[in-house]
Amino acid sequence: MSENEGKICVDLSGQVAVVTGASQGIGKAIALALGKAGAKVACAARSVEKLQETAAEITAAGGTAEVFACDVTDAQAATALVDEVAEKWERVDIVVNNAGITRDTLLPRMSDDEWDAVIQTNLRSVFLLSRAASQVMMRQRYGRIINISSVSGLMGNPGQANYSASKAGVIGFTRTVARELGKRKITVNAICPGFIATEMTDALGPALVDEVKKRVPAKRLGEADEIAQGVLFLASRSADYITGQVLTIDGGMTA
């Protein structure tokens, strides 16, 4: 089987994408997929060293990528990121709000800091980057904002009151902003991954991962590239008339 067999073919040549949390896991897979599709990719995260690995893989595959160290919870930094990318490449076509963290614990033991950190990274950053990018996209009269939510935002998950709240907030934000920006030819959609094989799920341990697989009709964890394929579709011109929607990629777990 060839590397591209079974994958959608999307041409994003001439477009510019910003991907947050691009240093590892789902974010890295998304950045690589967008780069291979021809987009110039701004890889953003706090960890510059890991970002450089992502950018190097994109360039090695013939694409174009730059590294941008950014605290996406900081309003000035988020605005500066978008402005710098727009100045460098003269446009911003695609923003993928992927940055996310967990601070899992049951509600009675959850600290203020554990709540605030997750809400800031998972929800506030989506607002900040989308607000900044929307101004560039409105001038272009074109754009794609793709927000990475989670099945935890659809159905909840014990020990994740903060995470579930943040991801549910992303869905509400997505649907509202889609209504606001639709007339400017800007689509805003969300993707809800299920359990995906990443560094985050590795931390669960083999016993819990096996238990998760039993709950999934597909009987396996998803792959990061399967989420990236969903992003590619929503970023493509084939998705021109799709906005305000939530694409769930979870192997049937929430069916």
Phi, psi of 114 (to 5 degrees): -65, -35
Contact 198, 24 (CB under 8 A): yes
- 142 catalytic? Reply is no
CA–CA dist 48, 189 (Å, integer): 28
Tokens read off for 239: 């998705």
Question: Which entry of 68, 89, 115, 163 is annotated as an active-site residue?
Answer: 163
d(CA 31, CA 39): 9
Helix (H) or strand (E) holding 11: none
Q: In sequence order, what are the residues at sequence separation of 6 or more whose Cβ sits closer than 8 angstroms to the Cβ of residue 61?
A: 32, 35, 36
Question: What separation in angstroms does the CA of 250 have from each of 102, 191, 223?
Answer: 19, 10, 10
Tell me the catalytic residues.
163
